[in-house]
Amino acid sequence: MKPFTYEKASSPAQAATAVARERGAKFIAGGTNLLDLMKIEVEAPPHLVDINGLGLDAIAPTDEGGLRVGALVRNTDLAADARIRRDYGLLTRALVAGASGQLRNKATTAGNLLQRTRCPYFYDTHQACNKRLPGSGCAALGGFSRSHAIVGVSNACIAVHPSDMAVAMRALDAAVETVKPDGTTRRIPIADFYKLPGSTPHVENVLAAAELITAVTLPKPVGGTHVYHKVRDRASYAFALVSVAAVLQPDGSGRVALGGVAPMPWRVEAAEANLPKGAKAVTSSLLAGARTTPQNAMKVALVERTLGAVIADAGA
Amino acid sequence: MDITDQLNISRRGFLKLTAVSATVAATPPLVARAAVPDVARAPVTQQVAMEVNGKPATLSLDTRTTLLDALREHMHLTGTKKGCDHGQCGACTVLVDGRRINSCLTLAVMHEGSKVTTIEGLGTPDALHPLQAAFIKHDGYQCGYCTPGQICSAVGVLDEIRRDVPSHVTADIGAKATFSTAELRERMSGNICRCGAYSNIVEAITEVQEGRA
Amino acid sequence: MKFDTPATTNPIDRLKVIGQPHDRIDGPLKTTGTAHYAYERHDAVPNHVYGYIVPATIAKGRVVNIDTATARRAPGVLAIVTAKEAGPLTKGQYNTAKLLGGPEVQHYHQALAVVVAETFEEARAAAGLVRVDYARSPGAFDLAAAKGRAVKPEDGQPDTAVGDFAGAFASAPVTLDAMYTTPDQSHAMMEPHATIAAWEGDKLTLWTANQMIHWGKGDVAKTLGLPPDNVRLVSPYIGGGFGGKLFVRADAILAALGAKAAGRPVAVALPRPVMFNNTTHRPATIQRIRIGATPDGKITAIGHESWSGDLPGGGPETAVQQTRLLYAGANRMTATRLATLDLPEGNAMRAPGEASGLMALEIAMDEMAEKLKLDPVDFRVRNDTQEDPEKPGRRFSQRNFVQCMRKGAEQFGWSKRSATPGKMRDGAWLVGMGVASAFRNNLVMKSGARVRLGTDGRATVETDMTDIGTGSYTIIAQTAAEMLGLPLSQVSVVLGDSSFPVSSGSGGQWGGNSSTAGVYAACVKLREAIAGALGMDAASAVFDDGKVSAGGRSVPIAEAAKSGEIVAEDSMEYGDLEKTFQQSTFGAHFVEVAVHAATGEIRVRRMLAVCAAGRILNPKSARSQVIGAMTMGVGAALMEDLYVDKRLGFFVNHDLAGYEVPVHADIPHQEVIFLDEADPVSSPMKAKGVGELGLCGVAAAIANAVYNATGVRVRDYPVTLDKLLDRLPTV
């Protein structure tokens, strides 16, 4: 870990200004991913701006009948909130499927959205990785790729986005609220938040430099049955091979998002029209254009079968 | 060396899968360059005051020092263990302001004013915490290295159930969280015990929970 | 003391303390965080500085240049030691690769340097500033590809043959010929390899995590070119080993070299992401098993071949071992072959040989039972043997294998198992049961101890034996208490110091029986000295209730030491009883699994082990050994797999997030039954090992249960859902 200077921010805009002031500076909140990566020097910010004291930890109703979740609301608290459990059960389910109790007590809503991939070549600083070191190549291609992405990938990167929470947020049409150093704010629908790797896998989202997430908003509840099925080898404390987030309505319509298959939480709204036809039809449009390796090609069948189980569960 | 082209992608199947078609050298290149420049920056020292096991502690620390290393190397509270230093094992679990966290993934300087409880603050050999006594009775440990983390985590788990925090195995997240063996196993899963004392750990925690109920 | 005839009645047989389920005596320290492990000796070394490893990042080749200039100028840096600065080092007797590499690189993450700095943070950052240029050489990393070039290993018995295997197999009415694979596995003990080193002149003390103190002392001395008497190892608490700490590892050598260069005591722990490739692992195997039987299920031919790889100078995984002894059959063969691989060093991990071998053999037995339309328990029972099948007339000292199978079947409700796979369903889950035999040889090792009777009447045992979670502290205290007629609370045990008498150490499941037998020997000597001091006849003196009684006289034991401490030291050595008797431990594992019919997720629901392993010295800690081994078996069956990048030559998933081991949620309540045994051939303790037996066969029982649940036979471990998916019921 490289030495860094450290300050506690006094307001969201001040935090953004402080990060803008020094090249490479970063916000730190839960720190559970950033410090992990700093220890192995995948990340080496010269300055950290601690935003924990900013009070962005409330969950409050919005005028539109939804909820505004502060950027610093811990995963545990978000999952346990009575309104979330009642109206956005998918989000609670996704949150508690991720990480461990200890990590959820620290990890924040905004930080979870910004989790970096768990690709082992990304984590091994002496291996080729275009995400970590642009232009160095991708060692996962032709190497270990069982847990890697099958859709949205490029020849530069097949890393998968590791978050469970973000998958639920995508299915629930959440939006990300931010503030920039100049004090301007914006609202980014989660559908527009992440970027596919293309030839620049190190660029993972649309945030500008020093732009700070202040909240994530949830639109008004959509009802339906909420199911999150995370498939993994180990029963807990493991990243998804595949996860399926679904909100299914009594009339057979619904929404489906996937985790573990793409560089971002994966949702294809057009595929959802096929829900009444069953899992196979939905999967075939959800995963259209899938590009697989011999090790992860099984995810195609796994998505279809898991979605089938989810639909069956919801009907039961 | 056996090198197979791992990128021959099946085009079978209903999805008409296509290959990730990069032309990849048999062996990826060496990455000699680091992601960050080779400069030796000067360490930054900062003061932090917290309360550890009920006693005030003021430390002057490198900003890089984790709460775990502050406890182990600076306060010599070595009961909190370093198993992986990356949030992957749970051996470093402590209670901060009443909540269990991985002390390896938080900086000491971020804990100004925090109240930290470590295994040493729960009980001593002569005055054991009920969970410590139950772990001994049920042989809920072998090598002992994950044990302080397991016990601190168990304190947190019982509190989280009381505070109605749901878990992955909670059948009805609309209902109040309740204690069960399945709940305990899921909630304790962030604490790895390679010796495999899990079955006994669950019995130890269950006994303490039932004693309270 | 020499043990060369089977034990007769001795004071241990009273079982007042031994054989009782006492809580561990080290429990209050371990549960309160006050047991100090290697890296935590601020008490002994108050002013140490920190060393951090610089690992190689190629699998094979040479260091062309190692640039330490920037790192040396970094804040806080006190010293950097590379192979150049270290000067000539000798490879340890128990190491295959050098612990400090360079210029030659033998495997990924081999240590190339240690950076010593005032603080941990400074040492870690400076290590990141060391720049290494390499010339990479091609290497062999793929066992399947290297299999054809595998050779007979130099040591051991690469080939065994009895009768006419080929003929008997060819003519057998029912046959099986199948290939199985097991992956590379990592010990992944919770405490990283760690050492604090301090020099006083040319004398070196290492507070380290090591299972085998005497081996370690010898190899540290050999590596550094020191007289062994100048090296002291101290290892009272060890955070797990499983074979991974049998040998001196890089932490110890780097700490010693760093401390010498810095002129300060140095602490070094291996970072978790470096452990998997820097240290040893259980090597992957490819195994071929052939079984021929009569239609009524009598094995007439059994053959087991195994291929594994290691660095030049290394050894094979002896996966065929159990097949020589477990089942009857007149015609038999085994073959062990070793390929050269440039992966990190393979070596012993819990139950080396049998753990891997039974993963294959016990699936084969399940497949064979199905072909024969026999119940798998019944098939195994039919092929029991009470004598060494290679040497008829050489009997097992004890073999209650059939009782393990029968008792387990009854206890587990085995009769409820459907013989046809895929027939039991519980909602979305397919349910199945599996069984496997457990088998592990019982080894005995010379072991010594010193026992002191203090003026206060307390006894203190000193031995360089280690407790890696096995319960050594407690069973040694129980042994001394039983022998001296003292309550357990009157006995102290001090372990893991090379200044104490040399013990068996912890490995090969020999530690429990062997180390307590050494304590027995020392106690016999102490009893003689005590009797002498009290003017009593040693042969007839009875030690009980804190008193010594003989010839109608009874006095408190403390009387004997009132004018000064009485000290006795002895070792237990073994004759050649193994020529007359085969000593092994036996068991049966029963498992119930559920497999999600749609996703193939596999969850273990119930586990039972029945063990026949001689006298159980402490049923509580022995049971823990077995449930822990069963847990490791779940890992082996369902998730543990060091993934080899065959282009780059290293284990890719080299941290605890990537290399998955079981967590709480994977493990159900576990049942263990010990048969009531005492084996007088093993030692005066009449005990045998259980710590490895508990692992042997577990993974196969799970694989067999998955087959019973789904009808999908997986012969390549781990049994993961992707291997089931295309043959599960349609959703």
| Residue C230 confidence (pLDDT) | 98
Question: Which CATH number goes with the domain that contains B173?
Answer: 1.10.150.120
pLDDT tens digits, residue range C475-500? 999 999 999 999 999 999 999 999 99
Same domain, C458 and C415: no
What architecture does CATH give domain A225-315? 2-Layer Sandwich (3.30)
Return the residue of A nearest to C726 by Cα. Answer: A301
Within 13 Å, how many C-alpha atoms sit on residue C357's CB side? 29
pLDDT in tens, C72-93: 999 999 999 999 999 999 999 9
Residue B128 touches partner C, C-beta closer than 8 Å:
yes
Phi, psi of C554 (to 5 degrees): -140, 120
How much is the pLDDT for B13? 36
User: Hey, CA dihedral for C503, C508, C511, C513, is it positive or negative?
Assistant: negative
If asked whether residues C493 and C551 sit together in one domain, one would say yes
C449 shares a domain with C432: no
Q: Could you say which of A36, A105, A158 has the minimum Cβ distance to residue B99?
A: A105
All residues of chain A having their beta carbon less than 8 Å from the beta carbon of residue C658 are 118, 120
CATH number, position C497:
3.30.365.10
Same domain, B61 and B100: yes
Please name the helix (run of DSSP H) or strand (run of DSSP E) that holds residue C626, with its range, or none: helix C619-638
CB contact under 8 A, C645 and A144: yes
Q: What is the pLDDT of residue B29?
A: 72
| pLDDT band for position C722 (cuts 50, 70, 90) | very high
Which pair of structure tokens corresponds to residue B133? Answer: 């006594």
**DSSP track, C416-476:** GS-SSTT-EEETTEEEEEEEEEEEEE-----EEEEEEE-TTS-EEEEES---SSS-HHHHH
Contact between residue A171 and residue A246 where contact means Cβ atoms under 8 Å apart:
yes
Contact criterion met (CB < 8 Å) for A236 and C663 = yes
Question: By the 8 A CB rule, do C442 and C689 touch?
Answer: yes
Q: C124 — contact with chain A (CB < 8 Å)?
A: yes
Final residue of a domain: which of C523, C552, C576? C576
B2 CB neighbours in chain C (<8 A) are 141-142, 144-146, 646
Do residue C420 and residue C563 come from a single domain? Answer: no
Same domain, C448 and C435: no
pLDDT given at position C427: 96
Residue C281 corresponds to which tokens in the numbers above? 């692992």
User: C126–B73: do the CB atoms touch at under 8 Å?
Assistant: no
If you count DSSP H runs as helices and E runs as strands, how many of each does chain B have, helices first? 6, 6
Last residue of a domain, one of C245, C278, C311: C278
* DSSP-based three-state secondary structure for A213: strand
Show residues of chain A in contact with B198, CB under 8 Å: none
pLDDT digits (tens, 9 = 90+) for A13-53: 999 999 999 999 999 999 999 999 999 999 999 999 999 99
- DSSP secondary structure code for residue B33 in this structure: S
Query: Does C189 contact B73 at a Cβ distance shorter than 8 Å?
Result: no
Contact C129 B143 (CB under 8 A): no
Considering only CA atoms, which of C356, C201, C310 is closest in space to residue C263? Answer: C201
Do domains A5-53 and A225-315 share one topology? The answer is no
Is A141 in the B-facing interface, judged by CB distances under 8 Å? yes
Predicted pLDDT of residue B39 = 65
- For residue B167, the enclosing domain spans 130-212
Q: Does C129 touch chain A (CB under 8 A)?
A: no
C619/C611 Cα distance (integer angstroms): 12
Whether residue B201 is found in the same domain as residue B143:
yes
Residue type at position C32? T
Domain boundary among B92, B122, B152: B122
User: How far C122 CA lies from chain A's nearest CA (Å)?
Assistant: 9
Residue C656 is nearest to which of B88, B151, B202, comparing CB atoms?
Answer: B88
Residues of chain C with Cβ-Cβ distance to B132 below 8 Å are 28, 31-32
Query: Do residues C482 and C14 touch, judged by C-beta distance below 8 A?
Result: yes
| Structural domain boundaries enclosing C113 | 45-138+187-278
- List the single best residue of B2, B9, B15, B172 to mutate versus A (max A Cβ within 10 A): B15
Shared domain check, B101 and B165: no
Nearest residue, CB atoms, C469 vs list B137, B144, B189: B144
pLDDT tier at A315, thresholds 50, 70, 90: confident
Residues of B in contact with A300 (CB under 8 A): 13, 15, 17
Q: Which of residues 89-108 of B touch C (CB under 8 A)?
A: 89, 91
Total CB pairs under 8 A between chain A and B: 203
In tens, the pLDDT along A64-100 reads 999 999 999 999 999 999 999 999 999 999 999 999 9
Number of domains into which chain B is organized = 3
Instruction: Decide if A141 and B22 are in contact by the 8 Å CB cutoff.
Output: yes
Claim to verify: residue C598 and residue C722 sit in the same structural domain: yes
Residue A177 distance to chain C (closest CA, Å): 31
| Residue numbers in A near B63 (CB within 8 A) | 3-6, 48
Q: What is the least distance, in Å, from the CA of B97 to any CA of chain A?
A: 11
- Give domain limits for chain A: 5-53, 225-315
How many domains are there within chain C?
3
Cβ of B196 within 8 Å of Cβ of C126? The answer is: no
Spell out which residues of chain A touch residue C130, defining contact as CB-CB under 8 Å.
none
Q: How far is A272 from chain C (nearest CA, A)?
A: 19
Q: Is residue C224 part of a domain?
A: yes
> B43 and C141: CB-CB below 8 Å?
no
Question: What's the token pair of residue A199?
Answer: 């030839």
pLDDT of B28: 73
Q: B213: pLDDT confidence band, cut at 50, 70 and 90?
A: low
**Rounded CA separation A200/A189 (Å):** 22
Q: Does A153 touch chain B (CB under 8 A)?
A: yes
CB atoms near residue C540 (< 10 Å): 10
Judged by a CB distance cut-off of 8 A, whether residue A48 touches chain B is yes
The reply to whether B2 and B68 lie within a common domain is no
**Interatomic CA distance for residues A163 and A260, integer angstroms:** 8
For C362, C376, C379, C608, C712, the CA distances from C706, given in Å and listed in that order, are: 13, 14, 19, 16, 7
Interface check C648 vs A, CB under 8 A: yes
The answer to whether residue B208 scores a pLDDT higher than 80 is yes
* C-alpha to C-alpha distance for A202 and A200, rounded to whole angstroms: 5
Write out chain B residues lying below 8 Å of A100, CB-based.
90, 102, 189-191
Cβ proximity of C686 and C7 under 8 Å: yes
Answer yes or no: is pLDDT of B17 > 70: no
Closest by Cβ to C639, choosing from A234, A279, A309: A234
Provide the CA C302 distance to its chain's centre, in angstroms. Answer: 27
Q: What are the pLDDT digits (tens) for A275-289? A: 999 999 999 999 999
Q: Is residue C180 part of a domain?
A: no
Q: pLDDT tens for residues C428-468?
A: 999 999 999 999 999 999 999 999 999 999 999 999 999 99
CA neighbor of A174 nearest in space, from A294, A67, A293, A263: A67
C22, C23, C32, best to mutate vs chain B, most B CBs in 10 Å: C32
Cβ partners under 8 Å of residue B6, min gap 6: A141, A142, A143, A145, A293, A294, A295
Closest CA to A28 of B43, B105, B92: B105
User: How close A43 gets to chain C, by Cα (Å)?
Assistant: 13
Section B142-158 average pLDDT? 98
The pLDDT tens digits of the residues spanning C305-359 come to: 999 999 999 999 999 999 999 999 999 999 999 999 999 999 999 999 999 999 9
Whether A234 and C658 lie within 8 Å, measured CB to CB: no
Q: What pLDDT score was predicted for residue A117? A: 98
Q: Which residues of C touch A312 (CB under 8 A)?
A: 428, 598, 731
Looking at C546, C576, C606, the residue that finishes a domain is: C576
Locus of tokens 């019921």: C729
Residues B89, B117 within the same domain: yes
Given a cut of 50, is residue B8 above it in pLDDT?
A: no
At A221-268, the pLDDT tens digits run 999 999 999 999 999 999 999 999 999 999 999 999 999 999 999 999
Residue of B nearest to C49 (CA): B73
Pairing between strand A47-50 and A5-8?
Answer: parallel
CB contact under 8 A, C652 and A144: yes
Residue C205 CA, chain-centre distance (Å), reads 26
User: Does residue C60 share a domain with residue C101?
Assistant: yes
**Are A305 and C725 within 8 A, CB to CB?**
yes
pLDDT digit string, tens, across residues B18-49: 555 444 445 777 665 454 555 668 999 999 99
Residues C435 and C572 in one domain: no
Strands C49-55 and C77-82: unpaired
Half-sphere exposure of A106 (CA within 13 A, CB side): 27
Tracing tokens 């990890």 back to the chain, one arrives at A107
Judged against a pLDDT cut of 70, whether residue A152 lies above it is answered with yes
Among residues C7, C31, C10, C135, the alpha carbon closest in space to that of C444 is found at C7
ipTM of the complex: 0.98
Contacts of A48 (CB under 8 A, 6+ apart): A4, A5, A6, A7, A25, A26, A27, A28, B63, B107
* C-alpha span between C62 and C69 (Å, rounded): 20
Question: Is there a single domain that holds both residue C262 and residue C251?
Answer: yes
Contact B185 C665 (CB under 8 A): yes
Looking at the structure, tell me whether residues B135 and B205 fall in a common domain. Answer: yes
Is there a contact between C165 and C185 (Cβ–Cβ < 8 Å)? Answer: no
Distance of alpha carbon B53 from its chain centroid, rounded?
A: 19
Which residues partner with A258 through β-bridges?
A: A244, A266
> How high is the mean pLDDT of chain B?
88
pLDDT at residue B5, as a whole number:
35
Kindly calculate the radius of gyration of chain C based on its CA atoms and give it in whole angstroms: 27
Q: What stretches of chain A show up as alpha helix (H) in DSSP?
A: 12-21, 34-39, 75-80, 82-87, 89-97, 101-106, 109-113, 120-123, 165-171, 279-286, 298-315
> Do residue B53 and residue B104 come from a single domain?
yes
Q: Which residues contact C335 (CB under 8 A, 6 or more apart)?
A: C158, C159, C160, C304, C305, C306, C320
The residue of chain C with its CA nearest to that of A100 is C663
Strands A225-231 and A242-248: antiparallel
> Residue B2 carries which side chain, given as an amino acid letter?
D
- B106 to chain A: which residues are within 8 Å by CB? 31-32, 35, 106
> What's the pLDDT score for residue A316?
66
User: How confident is the model over A129-146, as a mean pLDDT?
Assistant: 97
Q: What is the fold, at CATH topology level, of the domain defined by A5-53?
A: 3.30.43
The reply to whether C486 and C401 lie within a common domain is no
C692 is catalytic: yes
